[in-house]
Amino acid sequence: MSLQPRWFFDQELALSLPGGTVIGQSYYATPSPRSSLRLRVDFHPTIRQGEYGGLRVRILHEDKGTIDDVVLSFAEHRTFQRRDQAAGSYPGLSGHGVFTDYTTAKGGPGWSGGDWTPLREAITGYADLWFPPKRPRGAVRSAAAPTLQATPAKSVTTPRR
């Protein structure tokens, strides 16, 4: 069984960034239509062939190439924590916190059993840093992001004894 990146990015990781598409073994997104920046997500290999320990997320400029690059580790995001605990795997043991591009013993892809929510949130947050969500002109901040308002200081007197 091959890596099947289209299935992984569309169904498992389920990124829904504007302009998102899978080309080859990479996911590309163009969150701002007129921007010269692009987001690229790839599988990050370990030292073993056909084994992946995370996802590499890059910001590409159409003229300057890669301008930012970060690797999001499966182990750090606890992607396979449940799977590894059930198998009795622990950090330092071969196969812990990684997946391979071949079929599992149960017949599914190597990434089966992963919790992709933390990685999806990390990638979306990273994309938001480079491509801030646009608010309509005159929009007021939502209640979810309260602003701090200064209040006049009150003079406090304490009685003397």
pLDDT of 92 above 80: no
| Euclidean distance between CA atoms 48 and 134, whole angstroms | 42
User: Where do runs of H (alpha helix) occur along 24-145?
Assistant: 81-87, 117-130
Higher pLDDT, 45 or 143: 45
User: With bands split at pLDDT 50, 70 and 90, how would you rate the model's confidence at 7?
Assistant: confident
The amino acid sitting at 80 is F
Position 38 scores a pLDDT of 94
Beta bridge partners of 29: 39
Backbone angles phi, psi at 65, to 5 degrees: 80, -145
DSSP 63-89: TTEEEEEEEEETTTTTTTHHHHHHHT-
pLDDT one-digit tens code per residue, 42-71: 999 999 888 888 999 999 999 999 999 999
pLDDT exceeds cutoff 70 at 137: no
Residue located via tokens 């004894």: 161
Give the model confidence (pLDDT) of 94-135 as tens digits.
666 777 787 666 667 777 778 889 999 999 999 989 888 776
**What's the CA gap between 9 and 93, in Å, rounded?**
27
Please provide the average confidence, as pLDDT, over all residues in the chain. 78
Sign of the C-alpha dihedral, residues 40, 46, 47, 51?
negative
87 — alpha (psi -120 to 50), left (phi > 0) or beta?
A: alpha
pLDDT band for position 157 (50/70/90)? Answer: very low
Cβ-defined contacts of 130-135 (< 8 Å, 24+): 130/31, 130/37, 130/39, 130/59, 130/68, 131/31, 131/32, 131/35, 131/37, 131/39
Supply the pLDDT for residue 151: 37
